[in-house]
Amino acid sequence: MEEYLIKGRTLPEAYHKALVTLEENGVIVDCPDYDQKQKEITGTIHVSEPTAENRISKLCIGGPKELRQYELEILDGILDFIIGKGDNLWNYTYHDRFAPWLNFVIEDLKRERYSRRAAIVIRDNEADSKSKHPVCLQSIQFMIRQDRLDMFVEFRSRDLPEAFFMNAFALTRLQEKVAVELEVPVGTYSDRSISLHAYEKNFEITTDWVEKHIKVRPHNELVYPYEGYYKDLMAESDEEIAEMIAAKKAQYGVK
């Protein structure tokens, strides 16, 4: 497959360019695991200022509650307790895979500011080779360059319209967290997907987003500010999310 480098200053700008790139250049292939076709490219999405406003795209399947829950899953591991419980399909969470190694990353960059070793492998070959749902995120690496914390992630497989934006937003929030620990500003965010795709069920949605919105409307009409607006909307879901967690803990007998 041809690989594309997609650049934007903000996360929504880069995401919208990725949607256009997939729409115009994606190759349609079979996806028998999900009994449908998919449109696919290989792509790296590079964001030069990942915390810059406006930080939230309106072209995202999911609203403030879904984004807030996912942010908490990545940052705090709020659903780590369901791993292997009951009929839960997942034998991992991203947080469960990377959290044990986060202190290593921080201490390594404190030890040597220009280290190339502050990397975390997310894939567990033993577990994922036996799973029907192997982990999509493969690795995370942090580097301090030009006195800023850059972050690099790689996914083996990525649903662009349904998963990318929430993934990337939450991971840049993780980048912020590590940057605070290291007392450096946030740098660039680079996000590579070997299979960056849209499933057939979403072909009409992605075409609509590209042709009726991204290509014809001003960018500022397709974004929300995070600080002072969307962040507050997300926080309004905290009580409902806490109730969901309590219900799941009761379901699985977790205290």
Confidence at 25, pLDDT banded by 50, 70, 90: very high
Whether residue 167 is contained in a domain is answered as yes
Q: What is the CATH number of the domain that holds 123?
A: 3.30.572.10
Residues 133-176 have pLDDT tens digits of 899 999 999 999 999 999 999 999 999 999 999 999 999 999 99
Q: What integer is the mean pLDDT of 68-87?
A: 91
Write down the pLDDT at residue 85: 80
Tally Cβ neighbours within 10 Å of residue 30.
Answer: 11
pLDDT band at 111 (very low <50, low <70, confident <90, very high): very high
- Report yes or no on 239 lying in a domain: no
The answer to whether 188 and 50 have CB atoms below 8 angstroms apart is yes
Taking the C-alpha atoms of residue 94 and residue 252, their distance in angstroms, rounded to an integer, is 20
Q: Which of 79-83, 99-103, 177-181 has the lowest mean pLDDT?
A: 79-83
Q: What does the pLDDT average to over 4-26? A: 98
Model confidence at 88: pLDDT above 80 = no
> Mean pLDDT of all residues in the chain?
95
**Model confidence at 87: pLDDT above 70:** no
Any domain includes 10: yes
Could you say which DSSP state residue 78 is in? T
Sorting pLDDT into bands at 50, 70 and 90, what band is 107?
very high
Q: Do the beta carbons of residue 9 and residue 52 sit within 8 Å?
A: yes
What is the phi/psi pair of residue 218, to 5°? Answer: -60, 145
Q: Answer yes or no: is 230 within a domain.
A: no
Q: How many CB atoms lie within 10 A of CB 111?
A: 10
Q: Do residues 213 and 222 lie in contact, with contact meaning Cβ atoms separated by under 8 Å?
A: yes
Q: What is the pLDDT of residue 237?
A: 98
Q: Chain-centre distance of CA 30, in angstroms?
A: 24
Please state the pTM of the whole predicted model. Answer: 0.96
Q: How confident is the model at residue 33 (pLDDT cuts 50, 70, 90)?
A: confident
Q: Please give the single-letter amino acid code of residue 11.
A: L
pLDDT class of 53 with cuts at 50, 70, 90: very high
Is residue 168 within 8 Å of residue 15, measured between CB atoms?
A: yes
Are 210 and 137 in contact by the 8 Å Cβ rule? The answer is: no
pLDDT at 34 (0 to 100): 85
Structure tokens at 59: 């072209």
Confidence band for 252, pLDDT divided at 50, 70 and 90? confident
- Has residue 236 been placed in a domain? no
> Using one digit for the tens of pLDDT, what is the confidence trace for 179-213?
999 999 999 999 999 999 999 999 999 999 999 99
Counting Cβ atoms within 10 Å, is residue 131 exposed (0-12), middle (13-18) or buried (19+)?
Answer: middle
Q: At what angle do helices 165-182 and 102-111 cross, to 10 degrees?
A: 50
The Cβ-side half-sphere exposure at 136, using a 13 Å CA radius, reads 15
Total structural domains within the chain? 1
208 CB-near residues (< 8 Å, 6+ apart):
none
- Residue 111 belongs to some domain of the structure: yes
Q: Is residue 179 part of a domain?
A: yes
Q: What is the pLDDT of residue 61?
A: 87
Quote the CA–CA distance of 195 and 172 in Å, as a whole number: 21
Quote the pLDDT of residue 117: 98
Decide if pLDDT at 86 tops 80. no
Nearest-10 crossing angle of helices 64-76, 238-252: 60
Domain that holds residue 202: 3-58+91-225
Q: What is the DSSP letter of 202?
A: G
User: Cβ distance 92 to 99 under 8 Å?
Assistant: no
pLDDT attached to residue 132: 84
Task: Identify the residue whose tokens are 């009580």.
Answer: 239
Place of tokens 């934006």: 165
Mean pLDDT of 32-59: 96
What is the per-residue burial (b if ≥16 Cβ within 10 Å, else e) of 182-198? bebebbbbbbbbbbbbb
3-state DSSP call for residue 113? coil
In a domain, 209, yes or no: yes
- Per-residue model confidence (pLDDT) at position 89: 66
pLDDT value of position 91:
84
Position 245 pLDDT exceeds 70: yes
